[in-house]
Amino acid sequence: MSFDLVLFGGTGDLAWRKLMPALFQAFRHGSLPEGGRIIGIARDSLDDDAYRDLIQSRFEAVEGAKRPTREEFRQFAFMLHFLRMDLSKPDDYAALARMLNARRADTVVMYLATAPGLFTQVVQQIAAARLNDERTRLVLEKPLGHDLASNRAINQAVLGVLAEHQVFRIDHYLGKPSVQNLFAMRFGNSLFEPIWRREYISNIQITIGEDLGVEKRGAFYDQTGALRDMVQNHALQLVCAVAMEPPINAHADAIRDEKLKVLRSLKPWTAETLGLNAIRGQYVAGTAYGKRVAGYRDEPGVDPDSRTETFVALRAEIANWRWAGVPFYIRTGKRLSSRDARIEVNFRETPHAIYRAPANAVNKLVINLQPRDGLELHMLAQGQDKRSRNGQRNAGPQLAPVQLDLDFDKRFGSERVGAYERLLLDVIDGRLNLFVRSDEQEEAWRWVEPLIDNWSSDGTPRTYAAGTWGPSASSAMIARDGFAWGEEQ
């Protein structure tokens, strides 16, 4: 099967940080169909050789085993081509059409790694140049819009010229091995499903913590904020993966139908819950990696009076038979204590206690996404006997917290297929399972929109010191229900 992968934004940040390394790994693993072309598109004055040199110089900065050897890069570089385009000029799309039609590959992937403001224009021009036939697959990066209306406008423009099955909306969290493991754990085993419900689970916590600040993306981030950058997409996709019903099969639409139901069942915000269950924060100067780091408002590209949130903590509820009354806590932020992404499923207490259990001991299943990919089962076991003071009498059974630990990186090797590699190969193969359908995406925007409106019209975020777990209001929110965030227990 031959393919052409057209990379709009071919010299941009995403292309060289994520996409080229992923394509190279796929090439190295022998997973890319032979004879494919990767065509970088940008306004720069480059030819094929200059583009190859540019990509090679980027790879030289890569450390360790992920860096290609000279020979590997030479082989990989045969696939790389470049076309200079001004994305507003129809003639330039005609040139692209000539290049693609000269060999008519079986599959043409159009990857829009450009500013989202260009999506509609590029899609319309692709259609005007008659590049929207059955061979075409369109890949859209997040953020897709900045609210429900703009998301709908993009989806309408796209679906005006392509069918839904030709559109691959990326949420790279779905490509992470740990998220696929979550699906495998839930739907490949009978063990957890019977207890995966409100009768046995007291609360679920989803944490996506980053220790980095906004790095070089200050200007973009200041227009975006944590709610749009992480919650509307990554965090809600994790909620779906945890809460969805078992799909009838493993086909894309069966999975996406079930995720959509979860999003539709999220309890809408009310004036009361907006006040109580949604916390936003912004970091001020603090300590990260043992060094003093700047506050958000002092980051390059950020407005010195910015009200953009760099932290969000939410309490959500899913109104259906399986989950009614079970709080789903979500939190994410920049410049937190550590890079740590996990889902904690906390089980209810035993109905009747015959042992003295240590304070705050809970049964919980932790699905670790980052930095390691694994599962932990926390439970209580018989600890060491304790003698009373005079050494004579046994003080009775003492329970101690223990943990079953499964490290998938160790078990399956840390050289597993990375998120972007997985997703790019799926696009080339036409597999939609790990991509987001337009109705899912719109439903997620619908749910977060009252928060966007409320926060844009009202007040400022709370502050938190860089290197901490966010404003104390986040712990207070969860403590109101009698629980605590995982790392605080």
Q: Which amino acid is at 295?
A: G
Say which of 234, 251, 352, 378 is annotated catalytic.
234
| CA-wise closest residue to 347 among 357, 361, 329, 359 | 361
Residue 334 is encoded by which pair of tokens?
């920049």
Q: Smallest distance from the beta carbon of 68 to ligand BG6, in angstroms?
A: 22
Q: Which is nearer to ligand BG6, 229 or 442 (CB)?
A: 229
Where is 8: in which H helix or E strand?
Answer: strand 3-8
Token pair of 246, please? 């078992």
Residue nearest to ligand BG6 (CB): 229
With respect to ligand BG6, which residue has the nearer C-beta, 107 or 178?
178
CA-wise closest residue to 156 among 466, 427, 441, 404? 441
For ligand BG6, the closer CB: 210 or 440: 210
Minimum gap (Å) between residue 27 Cβ and ligand BG6? 22
Q: Which of residues 127 and 242 has its CB atom nearest to ligand BG6 in the complex?
A: 242
Output the CA angle 227-233-235, nearest 5 degrees: 75
Closest CA to 6 of 106, 80, 63, 94: 80
Going by their DSSP bridges, the two strands 462-465 and 399-407 should be labelled as unpaired
Is residue 234 among the annotated active site residues? Answer: yes
Nearer to ligand BG6 among residue 210 and residue 222 (C-beta):
210
Please state the closest distance from residue 370 (CB atom) to ligand BG6, in A. 6
Nearer to ligand BG6 (CB atom), residue 222 or residue 229: 229
- Cβ contact 328:243 at 8 Å: yes
Residue 365: CB minimum distance to ligand BG6, A:
21
Q: Tokens representing 219?
A: 């200007």
List the interface residues with ligand BG6, window 195-254 (CB under 6 A): 210, 229
Residue 413 Cβ vs ligand BG6, minimum distance, rounded to whole Å? 19
On whether the CB atoms of residues 5 and 137 are closer than 8 A, the answer is: no
Give the chain's end-to-end CA distance (angstroms, integer). 53
**Contact call for residue 309 and ligand BG6 (CB under 6 A):** no
Contact positions with ligand BG6 (CB under 6 A) in 367-386:
370
Assigned token pair, 61: 């900065």
Under a CB-based contact definition with an 8 Å cutoff, are residues 364 and 344 in contact? yes
Looking at the DSSP bridge assignments, the partners of residue 313 are: 279, 331
**In the bound complex, what is the minimum distance in angstroms from residue 342's beta carbon to ligand BG6?**
12
User: Total residues contacting ligand BG6 (rule CB under 6 A)?
Assistant: 3
Q: Which residues are catalytic?
A: 234
Q: Which residues bind ligand BG6 (CB under 6 A)?
A: 210, 229, 370
